[in-house]
Every structure is written in C-alpha cells, then in structure tokens.
Chain A
Amino acid sequence: MHYKLISCEVFKDELLHCIDNTENIIDAEFIAKGIHDLSNAEMRNRIEKSIRQSEGLGFDAILLGYGLCNTWVFGLSAQQTKIVIPKSHDCIGILMGSKQKYLDYYFKNPGTYFQSVGWLKNTENEPSIKKRSIQKLYGMDVSQEELKEKYGEKHINYLNDSMNQTKHYSKMAFIDTGTVNNTHYQIKAKDNAKNNNWNFDVLKGNVQLLQQLVNGNWPDSEFLIINPGTTVTQSMDNDLIYTTATVSPV
C-alpha cells in the first residue's frame, strides 16, 4: 500500500522508526507542533491544506499523526481519499500506546505535565505561529518587562500567578517509547521537573498505535476511518468522545 502520512512533528522520531518497520510505502510530511497553539479552526485549516494537496494523487489512504488535540478534528472531511486517525485524546495517549492507560494514569495523577523526545525537541514556536497564537490573542504572551511597565511592579506576582497555566501541576512524566535514544532528553525532562519543584516519573510507552497506523491495521476501537464524503462530528461515545464520521450535508 502507498500511504500519505501527515503528522505532528512531536511523533517524528517514533514514526520514522515505524516507517522503517513497515512493508507499506509512506510519504511522510511533518507539521510544526506549534499549530496546537492556534485556534482549533486555524489548526484544522493547516492540516486540511496538506490533506487537500494529497488527495487525488493515488494514495490508498491519508494517515494522520494527530489526536483529537482539543477539538480541531471536528469538521474535518475526506473528499477523494480516505483519512485515518488514531482515536486518542492527544499525543500522550498515542505515545503511551493506549488511551485507557493514559486515562488511568492521568486520573491518578492530575496535574501531570507530560514530555517526550518530540516535545523536548520542539519547544520553540516559529514567529509566524507565535503572533497568531491563542496566548497572543488574549494578551498572555507578554514579557515581564511589558507587564511591569504597563501594570507596575507590585502587581507582577499577581498577574503571573493568575496567568500561570501550570500552577497546580505537581509532576512531570517523561514517556519513553523505547525506540529512540532518549537519555539526553530524559535528563532534560528531569531538570525541568526539578526547576518547577515537581516530582518526576518515567513512563513506559510504546509505538504500537503508530506502527498500526502505518501498517494499515486500523481496528475500530483504536482508529477512526473517515471515508470520502464524510465529516468528523461529535458523538457522546463513552470511552472517547467525539469521533464519529457522518455523511457530509450536501
């Protein structure tokens, strides 16, 4: 089979490993992780742009290396070529190899910041994304100097604390998928945990879902197949919400 793979760069190392281990021919395209910082609509537009460019080129399917990642996937449609996407809340569930494993861990450890090699390799957003980010839109992407100048030094702590998304976090978990030499990144993650005064954990992940994605092994329980003429809409599925494809309205 000949597949087009469009993926977040967060999976790049793991997916290159999987591509080496499949009989299928994979044309891979990786998109900046930073598009997650844009609005859902903008994120979808960016991924759809790559999808539209890949349709009608004879690929047997377009594979997406993405999770639901907020709600960008609602409204995504397939036109000429079927699209396949793992049923996962986000990349964490994919890297852990199971959405249930992810949920079990998460609810036992609320306030965990997850990291992986791909996360640590792609920490800085390019300027074009930065200036359109949600953070920027709501005025949260400002320097300490700007805050001081505008609101006065005595209010800095209040503002920083109020805008700190991770203030209730207490743990950093590094996901080791076992496919990439990650010693350097594990040390970095551990340092990040220490700097934040958080506990540190290494979780055993795997590339099973990513390998299945490129192998063309897509059980309903783990993958959503979006056939041409259908659109992803919301559903109230118990184990994973919002992954139903229905016929596009004409």
Chain B
Amino acid sequence: MDYLEKLHDAVLKGNPDIAVEITEKALEEKIDPHVLINEYMIRAMDEVGARFERFEYFIPQLLMSAKAMKGAMALIRPLLISEGEEDNSICAITGTVKGDVHDIGKNLLGALLEGGGFRVVDLGTNVSPEQFIEAVETHKAKLVCMSALLTTTMPGMKTTIDAFKGAGIRDKVTMLVGGAPVTNQFAKDIGADGYKDNASAGVVLAKELLGLTK
C-alpha cells in the first residue's frame, strides 16, 4: 500500500490526474475508501490549509489541491452510497448572503471544509435567510458558513441569524461568518458563533466549535 502515499502527495501538490489514478487503483484493489479519505486526503488537505495560512501556498495551489481531492472523492462517494452506508460526516451549508454575488472566498472555504471531512452543500450566491434555513432542515446541517464581500450586504448575515432565531433553530447550528469587510467585533455583535479572516483558519475554528478537534 506504499503507493497510497502518492494520493496524499497528489492532493498536497495539487495534481488531480495522479489523485484520480491512484484512487482508481486503490478502489480496484478493494482498499477501504474511508482509509483513502481519512488517512491520506484529509491529512493532505490539512497541510494545504496550514501552508496557505503561512503564505507558503497561494490560491491557485489551494484550488488545484481542492480539484485533486474532488476528483478522488467523485470516485469514492458513489461507492459509499451504493454500499448503503449512512453518511455520518457533518453537513456544512455554505453561501454568500442576499444581494452579494461574490464567491471566491466562500468556495475556498467549501473546498477546505470538504478536505476537512465535512459534507458541504453550497447554496451559491445571493442566498436568502429562508434558503439557508431550508437547507439546514433538508440536510440536517450542523454548520452554516455565510460570506459577504461588501459592507452593503453584510447586514444580511445578521438578518439570517435573526431568521434562524425566529425559526427556533438557532441553537441547533453553529454559524460562522467571513468575508473581506467582516470583523470579529461584527461577528460578536450579530450573534454569530465565530469569524476568521481566511478559509483555512475557518475550518480549524469550525472543527473546534463542533468538537471535532483531534
């Protein structure tokens, strides 16, 4: 199984072709998909996130690692489902708040959350509070990550949190906020559970708050 380390390296170095090739081989050899995810890919993505935070990795590298992980996951996920296995990974809902159509940071967070073992449901951009609530209920999500790039649209985060309170489900989810104009103080003021200024740190925080830290 030595060649599996190459899967780790392919994700770490952002080589989607090799990641897919090794995954195909491993699955043919009936290697447990969970081993591929937990022992190789998540470990690689954790390192990608750490390098990104240290400015050793840049956004294109992070995107390539995410693509490698996604490519491998695309092969693995149908197997998990066909085995009738219950997906016990924690569901995270991501979305850019109403009025805002920017999504680079939000997508990076989504990629790193997936890399961190979360099942991510991305609602895209211009997402209303009602859509966030519906998605949480449909997917039984435990984590909501909201993004905004503009000060004009930032209040949409508060509106969304208030809507969760109104629907009586605020205490059932962890709600994180991020985006260029967002600050810690703002996150506290609007009643969010946390804020980080980059996607990688956001994943670490999400894991901490959900008690997933090793």
Contact = CB atoms under 8 A, between A and B. Distances in A.
Contacts of A89: 150-152
Contacts of A158: 63, 67
A110 B60 contact: no
A250 interface: no
Interface in B83-116: 98-104, 107
Question: Which one of B14, B100, B151 has the highest number of Cβ atoms from chain A below 10 Å of its Cβ?
Answer: B151
A74 B101 contact: no
Contact of B16 (A150, A155, A168): A155
A234 B186 contact: yes
Instruction: Tell me whether chain A's interface is mostly helix, strand or loop, or mixed.
Output: loop
A162 B107 contact: yes
Q: How large is the interface on B (under 10, 10 to 19, 20 to 34, 35 or more residues)?
A: 20 to 34
Nearest to A239: B155
Question: Which one of A102, A110, A140 has the highest number of Cβ atoms from chain B below 10 Å of its Cβ?
Answer: A110
Interface in A137-189: 137-140, 142, 147, 150-151, 155, 158-159, 162-165, 167-169
A85 B150 CA distance: 19
Interface in B131-153: 150-152
A234 B188 CA distance: 12
Interface string B52-65: 00010111110110
A159 B102 contact: no
A229 interface: no
B151 A140 contact: no
Interface stretch (B22-30, B33-41, B177-185): B177-185
Contacts of A50: none
A168 to B, nearest CB: 4
14 contacts: A70-B151, A103-B152, A106-B152, A107-B99, A110-B99, A110-B125, A137-B55, A139-B58, A139-B60, A140-B58, A140-B59, A159-B64, A163-B63, A234-B189
Contacts of B61: 139
B59 A155 contact: no
B99 A138 contact: no
Given A71-B183, A234-B185, A110 B101 contact: yes
Interface string A207-250: 00000000000000000000000000010100001100000000
B100 A110 contact: yes
A147 B60 contact: yes
Contacts of B58: 138-140
Nearest to A68: B151
A164 B155 CA distance: 24
A236 B59 contact: no
Nearest to A170: B101
Nearest to A106: B152
